[in-house]
A and B are shown apart, each in its own frame.
Chain A
Amino acid sequence: MTQTQHDADQDIVLECDQVNRWFGGLQALKGISLSVRKGEIFGLVGPNGSGKTTLVNAITGFYPPQQGQIRFLGEPINGLKPHCIAQKGIARTFQNVALFRGLSVLDNILLGRHIFMRPSIMASLFYWWWAQKEEVAHRVKVEEIIDLLQLESVRDEPVDVIPLGMQKRVELARALCAEPRFLVLDEPMAGMNQEEKEYMVRFILDAREAMGTTMLLIEHHMDVVTAICNRAVVLNNGEKIAEGPTREAINDPAVVTAYIGKVKDAA
């Protein structure tokens, strides 16, 4: 093994090795292998139903793969429960915003600190002497993230009254608060207008710069993918059809075929 090869292996944060997942007779993931290197934004694209979200669900533990292995920092994580995987340092956002509607923006973001906190009934009972110190310490970190993502104005609002673009930003804030080493963004710009989209791109880049987070980005906006992703994998029908530096992967003839069909297909 050459030195550069060895360095690249050292740098791998997340590695999927021949991941297979069936739902009954439907094979949603067919032997997917990919590796995400430290500090990069890795694009995951493909037409609807190609298995992007299934792969993410396999990584975060909701649909553990029936075959194959997923390694996080060299350690196998398939088969672990989602909350255990979260504690190892993998965070994610959801395609359709999954915020806690009964809580304020601040409480939602504070929940991102859950893995660092020691919640207990006794700590709550003796709040002034026990829980308060912890709450305040984590509030400081949360305020840093609120600052980074410019959420000051909605901090105390109930989360279901703020606009969708803001909600997506709150979800990103909640994920970043966990100080993840690997962050999965599942269509963070779905349903956004051009301005909100550009803001979101800015925040993602800011977050990577400020925290050095490695990210996996699922997105249908190809302009965003080509603009910010270092490398990309394209899925179609559960298979990997292209991989490499983003622009090359997306311009691959197989990808063009998967999205808009072949010339002779046109009637």
Chain B
Amino acid sequence: MFYRLSGIHHTRYESARALWPVTADRRIVQGLLLLAVAAPFLLSDLYLTSYMLPWLIWTAAALSLTLLMGVAGQLHFGFAAVMAIGAYTSIHLTRAGVPFELALLGAGLMAALIGCLFGAAALRVKGLYLVMATLAMQYLVEWTIINVPAISGGAQATLSTPDVTFLFIPLQSDGALYYTALLWTVVVTLLIMNIKRSSFGRALVAVRDKDFAASVIGVNPLKYKLLAFFASSFLGGVTGAVLAFCYYQAVTPEQFGFNVSIQLVAMVLVGGLGSVIGAYLGAGFVLLLPIVLTNLLAFVAQFDLIPISFNLLSHIPLMVYGALIIGVILFEPLGLAKIYDNIRKYFLVWPFRHTQS
């Protein structure tokens, strides 16, 4: 009905490996991209800066983490610390007079360097033990930022971002901030999708699935584990910088605490490990659902149908939110991306029932 596979025959290997080989998928992506570009003209400032903007940036963060956790299979429970390194590095670099574009690069490199240092633990340990090593990173980085005044700007200090320009456009208006974030998220999205269809991504998956079989076909498992940490931490660092400059505009260490790391892991898991669309859906779920639930409840409560205490009013959204996360994981362990995939396949063969793969 909506999707038509008939008539799609690939005569070249390039088109067979295209990002969206099905025309209908391509149309959807084009439509969404158009909406994203037009968003500043369609949405009010409130919706643009406090819903769309953080959603895009956290999607980029979830994408960076899903490259490591989903594609390369290395667990990371300290990703907020990686973002913190990027955020603080970029602020200090721009304050020292470095152009913002170079500061972003520096933020990525610094995060990648320190990320690789802790990622080196992955060369020896797997699974829960790697979780412990990355947790250590979370706390060590947090402690260092808080306790070194040169980084945090002093005890309990808030470090505000200086005024910068990105590609000759001053980052002051909401539009400029939004388009910077959109550009970065699109770049990360394309990068992850291209990694997944090229030899680099296949090598990462090989190491994830069976490291002994990977080495027997010539993949060096140690090298690719480190490269996964490098790439993911680099992207995470730049995303942290984009988050600081485009959204927070003033950073404190608490913004990159352990709970943020857990939220990132939740985004990746609820969305679906290793899935690009899952990162978008997961970030939206974790970030926006609590807000939607709170608004919904406030809307219901204003009719005074049943008396709800203020205390309960603030707790119900959290309870529902927790239940929904568990619900999604139970209903479809492969995450929201798999639910989307099932729906897509349903329409792909509609009105029939069985798909080919």
Contacts and interface: CB of A to CB of B under 8 A. Distances in A.
Contact of B216 (A92, A110, A132, A156): A92
B20 to A, nearest CB: 14
A89 to B, nearest CB: 10
Contacts of B214: 83, 100
Nearest to B200: A119
B198 A178 contact: no
Interface in B198-228: 198-203, 205-206, 208-210, 212-221, 227
A114 B212 contact: no
Interface in A125-173: 125, 127, 131-132, 134-136, 139-140, 156-158, 161
A62 B213 CA distance: 11
Interface residues of B, number: 33
B196 to A, nearest CB: 9
Contacts of A113: 199
Given A100-B205, A114-B203, A127 B194 contact: yes
Interface string B72-101: 000000000000000000000000000000
B315 interface: no
Interface stretch (A27-35, A101-109, A229-237, A250-258): A101-109
Contacts, number: 119
Contacts of B198: 119, 123-124, 127, 131, 135
Contacts of B208: 102
Contact of B218 (A103, A127, A178): A178
A79 interface: no
28 contacts: A61-B215, A82-B212, A83-B214, A83-B215, A86-B216, A86-B217, A91-B216, A98-B210, A99-B213, A102-B274, A103-B206, A111-B206, A113-B199, A114-B219, A115-B217, A115-B218, A118-B199, A121-B191, A124-B198, A124-B200, A131-B194, A132-B14, A135-B197, A139-B13, A157-B357, A158-B357, A174-B217, A175-B217
Given A98-B210, A114-B218, 12 more contacts: A83-B216, A83-B221, A91-B217, A99-B210, A112-B217, A113-B199, A119-B200, A121-B191, A124-B191, A136-B13, A175-B217, A178-B218
Interface of A: 60-62, 81-83, 86-87, 91-92, 94, 98-103, 107, 110-115, 117-121, 123-125, 127, 131-132, 134-136, 139-140, 156-158, 161, 174-175, 178
